[in-house]
Amino acid sequence: MPGFPLAVAPIGFQRPVTLRGRFVDLVPLERAHVTDLARAGRDPEIWRYLRIGPGRTEGEMQALVEELLAREAAGDVLPFTVLARADSAVLGMFRYLEIDRPDHAVELGTWLTPSVWRTPVNTELKYLGLRYAFEDEGCHRVQLKTDLRNRRSQRAIERLGAVREGILRDHFRRRDGSYRTSVYYSLLAPEWPTVRAALEAKLARPWHGPADRAITPGAGTSAAASP
């Protein structure tokens, strides 16, 4: 199929991978990022619906980073730190998880500091993540999930063009002992060219939001992934 390679071998999702865009760079997660990640993650609203974390303090973030690096070493995840393209400010974290290499499938996971919610940052980092998954790794299916109560996240996923598949009731236990119901979305490889064109059109529009250094476009405009 034109536009991306047909995968004939198990997908990889192993570092080093850096994804560069107009507003953000996704760089491999490092222990050196802990302090800045904790600063970006200090708002408790970030963690209200998430399974990972929390990372509101440096100690909590250190534990989260160590967990993700251990899971990366085991081949379970591929985690990134999200940096502002303009000044390398730390904005949050992005990761590939549920990596199913034989079946060419993966899930995207993200958290971002609230100052860049409702900006092009989330759209672009998802675009970069989807593009790498489909075009570099040859994935057939990319999924996203969120808490049923998290309408903001659901709207953001739907704006990407992902298809809502359904819910998993009482999917897992939260830290407080209650159960979370998860909403699942997905994109398939044949759908990617249309979704890609729509996302690129959105990202090409001028941004008229607050003059925030975190989302000021950098000098580069490439969204390419590099090994």
pLDDT tens digit at each of 227 positions of the chain: 445 555 445 679 998 999 999 999 999 999 999 999 999 999 999 999 998 999 999 999 999 999 999 999 999 999 999 999 999 999 999 999 999 999 999 999 999 999 999 899 999 999 999 999 999 999 999 999 999 999 999 999 999 999 999 999 999 988 888 899 999 999 999 999 999 999 999 999 887 665 444 555 444 333 322 22
Token pair in block for residue 215: 């989302």
Give pLDDT, residue 226: 25
In a domain, 217, yes or no: no
Give pLDDT, residue 1: 44
- E-strand spans in the chain? 18-20, 24-28, 78-84, 90-100, 105-112, 141-147, 163-173, 179-188, 225-226
In a domain, 198, yes or no: yes
Hey, what amino acid is at 173?
R
In sequence order, what are the beta bridge partners of 164? 185
In a domain, 12, yes or no: no
Give pLDDT, residue 9: 58
Give pLDDT, residue 96: 98
Q: How many domains does the chain have?
A: 1
Give pLDDT, residue 11: 72
What pTM was estimated for this model as a whole? 0.88
Domain that holds residue 76: 18-205
Give pLDDT, residue 175: 80
CATH number for the domain harbouring residue 79: 3.40.630.30
- In total, the chain counts a number of residues equal to 227
The count of other CB atoms within 10 Å of the CB of residue 167 is 13
